[in-house]
Structure 1
Amino acid sequence: MRTLRRTAPLVLVLAAGLALAAWLTAKAGDPALYPPPPGDDAVTVRLVANAWHSGLLLPREALARAAAQAGSGALVGVTERFGAYPALEIGWGDAGFYRAVPTLGALDWRLALRALFTPGGRPAVLHVVGIADASTFRGAGIVTLHLSRAGFGRLAAALAAAFTLRDGRPVEAGPGLYGPSLFYEAQGRFGLFHVCNHWSAGLLHAAGLPVTPLLDTLPRGLALDLAWRAGAQAP
């Protein structure tokens, strides 16, 4: 009981500190982009949240149109590469860890710690999967979001900027983890303060949604953040 009484104030101080840090780092949404106005032809996107990783499930045709309007030939090329599929699942992560750990059972803590704590961060890749049926994600947490056309266009522009280009074309980096998929070289550095879930949140923030980076570090936190601040239905 004495130990409990001694540690309780410390726990409360830590909790208050985390809550304050989350509040101070929270990013407001853009009401001109989200939510879409009544009657607007909204675009439905989904956050796919697994144990430690999240990605975005995007309608391919809408993405191709937005990329063409933004003048992103590289992203148009990616949508054409997966032209047989109605949707694309796209995620971002550490180039080494992402490829080596396809499932929770394959988790290697040495790789995970190296990915998180390498000074200056580590190279990143994008993972693109052609999706024919949403049942592919059975067992994953799915958060459905309805974006305005303008917001989706901003998301597409942010996504296009994430691809590393060579001679104006995205750089393929080998076969993906499951289904019809490919890795691509990506912009940005992976580290403790910029993990895959921050990347997913960043694209949604570009679309006008409010986000809280500290809470968004974990997939479940990101899902809850979208429920609390953007009105989404958490899994």
Structure 2
Amino acid sequence: MRRGPRIARRAAALALSLLLVPAALLALAAWLTARPGDPDLYPPAAGDEAVVVRLVARTWHSGLLLPRDDLARAAGEIGAGALLAVTERFHAYPALEIGWGDAGVYRGVPTIQALDWRLALRALFTPGGRPAVLHVVGVAAEPGAAFQDAEVVPLRLSRASFRRLAAALGRSLTVRDGHPVEAGPGLYGPSLFYEAEGRFTLLTVCNHWSAGLLNAAGLPVTPLLDTLPRGLALDLAWRAAPAR
């Protein structure tokens, strides 16, 4: 009579271990791959002039919303001519939403409902990765009104921190004869695609790109958590104290 409860307890213990071991391995992997921030860059010191940037996190994709005038100023200060040309192309808009992703999927999928999963899986698992593009959108509305379908995380950067972000963004642009290379009309609003550096793979998705720019600006990030937009938003909330 006692054998039944004993077997049930063992089964429950086995089931619990099967859950806890993968969770522990994931936590260890996240800790081992975490990238530290740079306290000389972030957060800005009291009294420093600050620039507010915003992570825009949708269901499967994230990008950064950057103030255009500040981005143009930073591009000029660091000599990023191609990035400066992008800001001039969108001179009529106070902010730019910029994202990075697989050239084929990004340009061919205007909404998540239109996603071809076979194409998405091919993008993730192609050996050596696939070509990438940048998507740049001119934004005139307030972030709350422009991105009602997304989670928006504001972050205050110092001028030095923002210049580092701008430099990393400038390196993401493919430059030909000193100019950015346009790759066709964008998905929504006043937008364009640009050819981009880097290869899209399972280990380098759009959210890793967003996190990489923020890490260049001095913020701590955790690539394993940052694979999905919600994970990146939570990572910033836990480790980077977003602006209120």
Which residue of 9, 14, 20 corresponds with 2:17?
9
* Residue in 2 that maps onto 1:21: 29
Determine the C-alpha separation between the residues in 1 that align with 2:12 and 2:184. Answer: 53
**Correspondences of 1:54-69 after superposition (within 5 Å):** 54-69=62-77
Which residue identity does 2:135 align to in structure 1?
H
* Residue in 1 that maps onto 2:177: 167
Per the normalisation by structure 2, the TM-score is 0.93
Moved over 6 A (4+): none
The alpha-carbon deviation at position 209 of structure 1 amounts to 0.2
Which residue identity does 1:169 align to in structure 2?
H
Tell me, yes or no, if the aligned pair for 2:37 and 2:218 is still in contact at 8 Å: yes
Matched residues, number: 234
**Alpha-carbon RMSD:** 1.2
Tell me, yes or no, if the aligned pair for 2:156 and 2:243 is still in contact at 8 Å: no
Determine the C-alpha separation between the residues in 2 that align with 1:34 and 1:13. Answer: 35
* Residue in 1 that maps onto 2:4: none
Q: Deviation string for 1:39-80 (max 9, x for gaps)?
A: 111000000000000000000000000000001111110000
Q: Deviation string for 1:149-183 (max 9, x for gaps)?
A: 00000000000000001111000000000000000
Per the normalisation by structure 1, the TM-score is 0.97
**Correspondences of 1:205-224 after superposition (within 5 Å):** 205-224=215-234
Which residue identity does 2:116 align to in structure 1?
D
Determine the C-alpha separation between the residues in 2 that align with 1:26 and 1:10. Answer: 25
**Correspondences of 1:30-179 after superposition (within 5 Å):** 30-133=38-141, 134=143, 135-179=145-189
Determine the C-alpha separation between the residues in 2 that align with 1:108 and 1:233. Answer: 36
Determine the C-alpha separation between the residues in 2 that align with 1:100 and 1:212. Answer: 29
In structure 2, the gaps of 5 or more residues are 1-7
Structure index of larger Rg: 2
Establish whether residue 200 from structure 1 lines up as the match of residue 210 from structure 2. Answer: yes
Determine the C-alpha separation between the residues in 2 that align with 1:219 and 1:233. Answer: 18
Which residue of 178, 181, 196 corresponds with 1:186?
196
Cα distance change on mapping 1:3 and 1:93 into 2, 3 Å:
farther
Give the secondary-structure state (helix, strand or coil) at the position aligned to 1:124. Answer: strand
The alpha-carbon deviation at position 8 of structure 1 amounts to 1.9
Give the secondary-structure state (helix, strand or coil) at the position aligned to 2:222. Answer: coil
In structure 1, the gaps of 5 or more residues are none
